């Protein structure tokens, strides 16, 4: 491989960690240093090793509170998306409310599509168009009522 003291890559690599720690005696470090000057491959590996070591050394210890992962998982399952701090008590009525608003938005879309169709229809078909719009509104209300039956009652202020 090289011409200095039969010092090969296989000799060099096991010594690199101790060399970086300054633990090699001078008579062992000097052939390694010599090898690193001649061998780009080992030099690159040593640099990489050094960088990796600094990476780990510069990472401060992070202490995670006991049960942290379990608490995060539990809150995630409860629908907490990490915005405002919410307790289980305040979260419970919010979820049905969100579902209701989603259903209301879907119902509104249904009504709007009915209205748009009514506008599109020529003057001759006005009665039929009105019926369609009414049907859509009733469908939307039906959906809200189905949801009401499924979900727990929310406080009066939230319902309408
Ligand atoms: Zn080498």
Query: What spacing in Å lies between the alpha carbon of 22 and ligand 1's midpoint?
Result: 19
Instruction: Output the pLDDT for position 33.
Output: 95
Query: What spacing in Å lies between the alpha carbon of 10 and ligand 1's midpoint?
Result: 7
Instruction: Output the pLDDT for position 19.
Output: 94
Q: What token pair was written down for 15?
A: 């010594």
How far apart are alpha carbons 134 and 140 in whole angstroms? 10
Least confident of 30-44, 57-71, 95-109, 120-134: 120-134
> Which runs of E-coded beta strand occur in the chain?
none
In the block, which residue shows the tokens 């229809």? 121
Tell me the percentage of the chain whose pLDDT exceeds 70.
61
Please list, in sequence order, all residues whose beta carbon lies within 8 angstroms of the beta carbon of residue 26, skipping any fewer than 6 positions away: none
Instruction: Output the pLDDT for position 152.
Output: 52
Res 56 pLDDT > 90: no
Query: What spacing in Å lies between the alpha carbon of 42 and ligand 1's midpoint?
Result: 4
Query: What spacing in Å lies between the alpha carbon of 5 and ligand 1's midpoint?
Result: 13
How far apart are alpha carbons 42 and 16 in whole angstroms? 9
Average pLDDT, the chain: 75
Query: What spacing in Å lies between the alpha carbon of 43 and ligand 1's midpoint?
Result: 7
Give start and end residues of each alpha helix (H) in 58-87: 68-77
Return the domain boundaries, the chain: 9-57, 87-159
> What's the chain's length in residues?
160
Query: What spacing in Å lies between the alpha carbon of 31 and ligand 1's midpoint?
Result: 11
Q: What is the DSSP letter of 86?
A: -
Res 138 pLDDT > 50: yes
Give mean pLDDT, residues 133-157: 64
């Amino acid at each position: 491989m090289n011409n200095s003291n039969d010092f090969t890559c296989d000799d060099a690599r096991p010594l690199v960690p101790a060399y970086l720690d300054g633990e090699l005696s001078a008579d062992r470090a000097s052939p390694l240093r010599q090898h690193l000057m001649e061998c780009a491959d080992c030099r690159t590996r040593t640099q990489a090793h050094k960088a990796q070591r600094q990476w780990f050394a510069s990472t401060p210890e992070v202490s995670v509170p006991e049960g942290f992962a379990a608490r995060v998982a539990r809150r995630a399952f409860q629908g907490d998306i990490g915005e405002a701090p919410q307790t289980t008590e305040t979260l419970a009525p919010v979820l049905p409310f969100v579902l209701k608003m989603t259903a209301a938005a879907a119902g509104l879309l249904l009504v709007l599509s009915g209205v748009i169709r009514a506008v599109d229809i020529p003057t001759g078909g006005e009665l039929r168009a009105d019926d369609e719009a009414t049907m859509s509104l009733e469908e939307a209300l039906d959906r809200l009522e189905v949801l009401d039956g499924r979900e727990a009652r929310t406080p009066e202020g939230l319902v309408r």
